[in-house]
Copies of this chain bind each other. A is one copy, B any other.
Protein backbone atom coordinates (compact mmCIF):
# COMPACT_ATOMS: atom_id res chain seq x y z
CA UNK A 1 0.00 0.00 0.00
CA UNK A 2 1.25 3.48 -0.81
CA UNK A 3 2.04 5.93 1.95
CA UNK A 4 -0.85 8.05 3.17
CA UNK A 5 -0.98 11.62 4.29
CA UNK A 6 -1.31 10.61 7.93
CA UNK A 7 1.97 8.77 8.21
CA UNK A 8 4.12 11.14 6.27
CA UNK A 9 7.25 10.71 8.29
CA UNK A 10 9.04 12.33 11.11
CA UNK A 11 9.39 15.96 10.11
CA UNK A 12 7.16 18.58 8.49
CA UNK A 13 8.02 19.16 4.85
CA UNK A 14 8.87 22.67 3.62
CA UNK A 15 7.50 24.01 0.34
CA UNK A 16 8.54 27.23 -1.38
CA UNK A 17 5.57 28.98 -3.02
CA UNK A 18 6.32 31.66 -5.62
CA UNK A 19 3.85 34.20 -6.97
CA UNK A 20 0.73 36.13 -6.08
CA UNK A 21 0.21 38.10 -2.85
CA UNK A 22 -2.91 40.26 -2.96
CA UNK A 23 -5.19 42.04 -0.53
CA UNK A 24 -8.64 40.71 -1.41
CA UNK A 25 -11.81 42.46 -0.32
CA UNK A 26 -14.72 40.02 -0.38
CA UNK A 27 -18.25 41.36 -0.37
CA UNK A 28 -21.18 38.99 0.05
CA UNK A 29 -24.22 40.26 -1.81
CA UNK A 30 -27.63 38.78 -2.48
CA UNK A 31 -27.10 39.09 -6.25
CA UNK A 32 -24.38 40.40 -8.53
CA UNK A 33 -25.64 43.76 -9.84
CA UNK A 34 -26.46 43.98 -13.54
CA UNK A 35 -26.49 47.78 -13.81
CA UNK A 36 -24.53 50.70 -12.34
CA UNK A 37 -25.69 52.01 -8.97
CA UNK A 38 -25.11 50.97 -5.39
CA UNK A 39 -25.19 47.49 -3.91
CA UNK A 40 -25.09 46.95 -0.15
CA UNK A 41 -23.15 43.84 0.92
CA UNK A 42 -24.36 41.95 3.98
CA UNK A 43 -20.87 40.78 4.83
CA UNK A 44 -17.33 41.95 4.15
CA UNK A 45 -13.99 40.31 4.66
CA UNK A 46 -10.49 41.46 3.82
CA UNK A 47 -7.86 38.79 3.49
CA UNK A 48 -4.31 38.64 2.18
CA UNK A 49 -4.20 35.78 -0.31
CA UNK A 50 -3.52 35.08 -3.99
CA UNK A 51 -2.58 31.87 -5.76
CA UNK A 52 0.83 31.15 -4.22
CA UNK A 53 -0.11 32.76 -0.89
CA UNK A 54 -3.23 30.63 -0.50
CA UNK A 55 -1.32 27.49 -1.49
CA UNK A 56 1.24 28.35 1.20
CA UNK A 57 -1.53 28.77 3.73
CA UNK A 58 -3.02 25.40 2.82
CA UNK A 59 0.36 23.80 3.46
CA UNK A 60 0.64 25.43 6.89
CA UNK A 61 -2.89 24.38 7.82
CA UNK A 62 -2.08 20.80 6.85
CA UNK A 63 0.93 20.81 9.16
CA UNK A 64 3.72 21.59 6.69
CA UNK A 65 6.04 24.57 6.47
CA UNK A 66 5.66 27.12 3.69
CA UNK A 67 7.67 30.06 2.46
CA UNK A 68 6.33 32.70 0.10
CA UNK A 69 8.37 34.57 -2.46
CA UNK A 70 6.01 37.27 -3.66
CA UNK A 71 6.15 40.99 -4.29
CA UNK A 72 4.20 43.80 -2.64
CA UNK A 73 4.55 47.57 -2.90
CA UNK A 74 6.06 49.87 -0.29
CA UNK A 75 2.61 51.06 0.72
CA UNK A 76 0.42 50.33 3.77
CA UNK A 77 -1.38 47.60 1.84
CA UNK A 78 1.92 45.81 1.23
CA UNK A 79 2.72 46.00 4.92
CA UNK A 80 -0.71 44.57 5.70
CA UNK A 81 -0.36 41.71 3.20
CA UNK A 82 3.02 40.54 4.52
CA UNK A 83 2.06 41.06 8.12
CA UNK A 84 -1.13 39.01 7.75
CA UNK A 85 0.57 36.18 5.88
CA UNK A 86 3.36 36.19 8.47
CA UNK A 87 0.81 35.92 11.26
CA UNK A 88 -0.60 32.92 9.41
CA UNK A 89 2.83 31.30 9.95
CA UNK A 90 3.95 31.58 6.36
CA UNK A 91 7.62 32.57 6.13
CA UNK A 92 7.53 35.79 4.07
CA UNK A 93 11.15 36.80 4.69
CA UNK A 94 11.98 36.08 1.05
CA UNK A 95 9.23 38.31 -0.31
CA UNK A 96 10.03 41.67 -1.89
CA UNK A 97 8.76 45.15 -1.02
CA UNK A 98 9.13 47.04 -4.29
CA UNK A 99 9.83 50.76 -3.99
CA UNK A 100 7.42 52.88 -5.99
CA UNK A 101 5.06 50.01 -6.78
CA UNK A 102 1.50 49.63 -5.54
CA UNK A 103 0.49 46.41 -3.86
CA UNK A 104 -1.98 44.19 -5.64
CA UNK A 105 -5.61 44.50 -4.56
CA UNK A 106 -8.73 42.74 -5.68
CA UNK A 107 -12.41 43.17 -4.97
CA UNK A 108 -14.61 40.10 -5.19
CA UNK A 109 -18.40 40.13 -5.04
CA UNK A 110 -19.88 36.74 -4.19
CA UNK A 111 -23.62 36.25 -4.44
CA UNK A 112 -25.98 33.72 -2.90
CA UNK A 113 -25.73 31.44 -5.92
CA UNK A 114 -21.94 31.38 -5.62
CA UNK A 115 -21.54 33.61 -8.70
CA UNK A 116 -18.58 35.96 -8.55
CA UNK A 117 -17.55 39.32 -9.95
CA UNK A 118 -13.78 39.76 -9.61
CA UNK A 119 -11.92 43.03 -10.10
CA UNK A 120 -8.17 42.45 -9.66
CA UNK A 121 -5.49 45.10 -10.06
CA UNK A 122 -1.77 44.37 -10.42
CA UNK A 123 0.77 47.15 -10.82
CA UNK A 124 3.14 46.03 -13.62
CA UNK A 125 6.02 47.49 -11.57
CA UNK A 126 5.58 44.81 -8.92
CA UNK A 127 7.13 42.03 -10.95
CA UNK A 128 9.66 43.84 -13.14
CA UNK A 129 12.75 43.01 -11.11
CA UNK A 130 13.95 39.50 -10.48
CA UNK A 131 16.81 38.13 -8.41
CA UNK A 132 19.08 35.25 -9.34
CA UNK A 133 18.16 31.87 -7.92
CA UNK A 134 20.58 29.00 -7.41
CA UNK A 135 19.94 25.50 -6.18
CA UNK A 136 21.72 26.57 -2.96
CA UNK A 137 18.90 29.07 -2.37
CA UNK A 138 16.52 26.13 -2.32
CA UNK A 139 18.54 24.05 0.15
CA UNK A 140 15.93 24.17 2.90
CA UNK A 141 12.95 23.36 0.68
CA UNK A 142 11.54 19.95 -0.17
CA UNK A 143 9.68 21.22 -3.25
CA UNK A 144 8.72 24.40 -5.07
CA UNK A 145 5.27 25.43 -6.28
CA UNK A 146 5.03 28.43 -8.60
CA UNK A 147 2.08 30.28 -10.11
CA UNK A 148 1.96 32.43 -13.26
CA UNK A 149 1.97 35.84 -11.52
CA UNK A 150 5.73 36.47 -11.43
CA UNK A 151 6.88 34.49 -14.47
CA UNK A 152 10.54 35.60 -14.52
CA UNK A 153 11.13 34.52 -10.92
CA UNK A 154 8.97 31.40 -11.30
CA UNK A 155 11.11 30.27 -14.24
CA UNK A 156 14.34 30.66 -12.27
CA UNK A 157 12.89 28.80 -9.31
CA UNK A 158 11.64 25.91 -11.46
CA UNK A 159 15.03 25.63 -13.13
CA UNK A 160 16.92 25.73 -9.83
CA UNK A 161 14.58 23.12 -8.33
CA UNK A 162 15.13 20.70 -11.20
CA UNK A 163 18.89 21.24 -10.93
CA UNK A 164 18.60 20.41 -7.25
CA UNK A 165 16.46 17.37 -7.97
CA UNK A 166 13.44 18.69 -6.08
CA UNK A 167 9.83 18.57 -7.26
CA UNK A 168 9.14 21.61 -9.48
CA UNK A 169 5.38 22.13 -9.48
CA UNK A 170 3.49 24.62 -11.66
CA UNK A 171 0.04 26.02 -10.93
CA UNK A 172 -0.94 26.35 -14.59
CA UNK A 173 -3.75 28.86 -14.30
CA UNK A 174 -4.93 31.28 -16.97
CA UNK A 175 -2.21 33.62 -18.26
CA UNK A 176 -0.82 34.61 -21.63
CA UNK A 177 -0.29 31.27 -23.45
CA UNK A 178 3.42 32.00 -24.05
CA UNK A 179 3.90 32.49 -20.29
CA UNK A 180 2.22 29.21 -19.31
CA UNK A 181 4.06 27.42 -22.09
CA UNK A 182 7.48 28.71 -21.05
CA UNK A 183 6.94 27.78 -17.41
CA UNK A 184 5.42 24.41 -18.32
CA UNK A 185 8.59 23.40 -20.17
CA UNK A 186 10.54 23.70 -16.91
CA UNK A 187 8.13 22.02 -14.48
CA UNK A 188 7.92 18.37 -13.59
CA UNK A 189 4.39 18.54 -12.18
CA UNK A 190 1.84 20.77 -13.91
CA UNK A 191 -1.64 21.22 -12.51
CA UNK A 192 -3.64 22.99 -15.17
CA UNK A 193 -6.96 24.64 -14.49
CA UNK A 194 -9.51 23.65 -17.12
CA UNK A 195 -9.65 27.14 -18.72
CA UNK A 196 -5.85 27.31 -18.94
CA UNK A 197 -5.68 23.80 -20.41
CA UNK A 198 -8.31 24.84 -22.93
CA UNK A 199 -6.35 27.94 -23.90
CA UNK A 200 -3.33 25.76 -24.73
CA UNK A 201 -5.12 22.78 -26.28
CA UNK A 202 -8.38 24.16 -27.73
CA UNK A 203 -9.82 20.82 -26.62
CA UNK A 204 -13.05 20.76 -24.60
CA UNK A 205 -12.87 17.37 -22.87
CA UNK A 206 -10.61 17.28 -19.79
CA UNK A 207 -9.40 13.71 -20.43
CA UNK A 208 -8.48 14.64 -24.01
CA UNK A 209 -6.73 17.77 -22.71
CA UNK A 210 -4.51 15.55 -20.56
CA UNK A 211 -3.59 13.33 -23.51
CA UNK A 212 -2.71 16.39 -25.57
CA UNK A 213 -0.76 18.22 -22.88
CA UNK A 214 1.38 15.27 -21.81
CA UNK A 215 2.72 15.20 -25.38
CA UNK A 216 3.47 18.92 -25.20
CA UNK A 217 5.26 18.57 -21.87
CA UNK A 218 6.57 15.01 -21.81
CA UNK A 219 8.91 15.75 -18.90
CA UNK A 220 6.02 16.53 -16.58
CA UNK A 221 3.23 14.80 -14.75
CA UNK A 222 0.07 16.42 -16.12
CA UNK A 223 -3.08 17.09 -14.08
CA UNK A 224 -6.18 19.00 -15.23
CA UNK A 225 -8.62 20.12 -12.53
CA UNK A 226 -12.23 20.46 -13.63
CA UNK A 227 -14.09 21.65 -10.54
CA UNK A 228 -17.10 19.51 -9.69
CA UNK A 229 -16.13 17.02 -12.39
CA UNK A 230 -12.96 16.12 -10.56
CA UNK A 231 -9.35 15.86 -11.71
CA UNK A 232 -7.79 14.07 -14.68
CA UNK A 233 -4.17 13.05 -14.91
CA UNK A 234 -1.82 11.06 -17.08
CA UNK A 235 -0.93 7.76 -15.48
CA UNK A 236 2.40 6.78 -17.02
CA UNK A 237 2.31 3.24 -15.65
CA UNK A 238 -1.15 2.55 -17.01
CA UNK A 239 -0.34 4.56 -20.16
CA UNK A 240 -3.68 6.34 -19.97
CA UNK A 241 -5.77 9.07 -18.42
CA UNK A 242 -6.88 8.51 -14.82
CA UNK A 243 -9.75 10.26 -13.06
CA UNK A 244 -10.23 11.30 -9.45
CA UNK A 245 -13.82 12.42 -8.80
CA UNK A 246 -14.52 15.52 -6.72
CA UNK A 247 -15.90 15.11 -3.21
CA UNK A 248 -19.49 16.15 -2.78
CA UNK A 249 -19.91 19.15 -0.49
CA UNK A 250 -22.34 22.03 -0.22
CA UNK A 251 -20.49 24.78 -2.06
CA UNK A 252 -20.49 28.19 -0.38
CA UNK A 253 -17.38 29.86 -1.78
CA UNK A 254 -14.97 28.49 -4.37
CA UNK A 255 -12.53 31.40 -4.05
CA UNK A 256 -9.01 30.00 -3.50
CA UNK A 257 -10.18 26.38 -3.85
CA UNK A 258 -7.76 25.79 -6.71
CA UNK A 259 -4.92 27.29 -4.69
CA UNK A 260 -5.70 25.06 -1.72
CA UNK A 261 -5.61 22.10 -4.13
CA UNK A 262 -2.13 23.11 -5.33
CA UNK A 263 -0.77 23.59 -1.82
CA UNK A 264 -2.13 20.26 -0.60
CA UNK A 265 -0.83 18.50 -3.71
CA UNK A 266 2.67 19.96 -3.29
CA UNK A 267 2.80 18.94 0.35
CA UNK A 268 1.54 15.45 -0.47
CA UNK A 269 4.26 15.07 -3.10
CA UNK A 270 6.96 16.01 -0.57
CA UNK A 271 5.52 13.43 1.79
CA UNK A 272 6.02 10.72 -0.79
CA UNK A 273 2.43 9.97 -1.69
CA UNK A 274 1.56 8.36 -5.00
CA UNK A 275 0.06 10.65 -7.60
CA UNK A 276 -3.38 9.18 -7.10
CA UNK A 277 -3.18 9.64 -3.33
CA UNK A 278 -1.81 13.18 -3.68
CA UNK A 279 -4.64 14.19 -5.99
CA UNK A 280 -7.24 12.63 -3.71
CA UNK A 281 -5.74 14.56 -0.80
CA UNK A 282 -5.75 17.80 -2.77
CA UNK A 283 -9.35 17.17 -3.92
CA UNK A 284 -10.49 16.63 -0.35
CA UNK A 285 -8.75 19.80 0.86
CA UNK A 286 -10.26 21.85 -1.98
CA UNK A 287 -13.73 20.40 -1.36
CA UNK A 288 -13.60 21.34 2.32
CA UNK A 289 -12.50 24.85 1.39
CA UNK A 290 -15.53 25.21 -0.91
CA UNK A 291 -17.87 24.49 1.98
CA UNK A 292 -16.78 27.57 3.93
CA UNK A 293 -16.86 31.29 3.16
CA UNK A 294 -13.73 33.42 3.19
CA UNK A 295 -11.27 32.58 0.42
CA UNK A 296 -8.11 30.90 1.70
CA UNK A 297 -9.30 31.12 5.32
CA UNK A 298 -11.40 28.03 4.57
CA UNK A 299 -8.30 25.86 4.09
CA UNK A 300 -8.84 22.74 6.22
CA UNK A 301 -6.69 21.11 8.87
CA UNK A 302 -5.23 17.67 8.23
CA UNK A 303 -7.65 15.84 10.49
CA UNK A 304 -10.64 17.15 8.52
CA UNK A 305 -9.05 16.16 5.24
CA UNK A 306 -8.37 12.66 6.53
CA UNK A 307 -11.95 12.38 7.76
CA UNK A 308 -13.32 13.38 4.37
CA UNK A 309 -10.98 10.94 2.62
CA UNK A 310 -12.27 8.20 4.92
CA UNK A 311 -15.97 9.07 4.96
CA UNK A 312 -16.62 11.41 2.07
CA UNK A 313 -18.85 10.85 -0.92
CA UNK A 314 -17.89 11.38 -4.51
Contacts and interface: CB of A to CB of B under 8 A. Distances in A.
A126 to B, nearest CB: 12
5 nearest A-B pairs in the assembled complex, by CB-CB distance = A44-B121, A36-B115, A107-B107, A76-B80, A38-B118
Contacts of A40: 119-120
A109 B102 CA distance: 18
Contact of A33 (B41, B44, B117): B117
Contacts of A109: 119
Most chain B CB within 10 A, of A25, A115, A118, A119, is at A119
A46 B118 CA distance: 17
B36 A32 contact: yes
A107 B27 contact: yes
Judged by DSSP, the binding face of A is mixed
Given A25-B25, A39-B117, 20 more contacts: A32-B35, A32-B36, A34-B35, A36-B116, A36-B117, A37-B117, A38-B117, A38-B118, A39-B119, A40-B119, A41-B119, A44-B102, A44-B121, A46-B77, A46-B105, A76-B79, A76-B80, A77-B80, A107-B119, A109-B119
A118 B76 contact: no
A18 B52 CA distance: 42
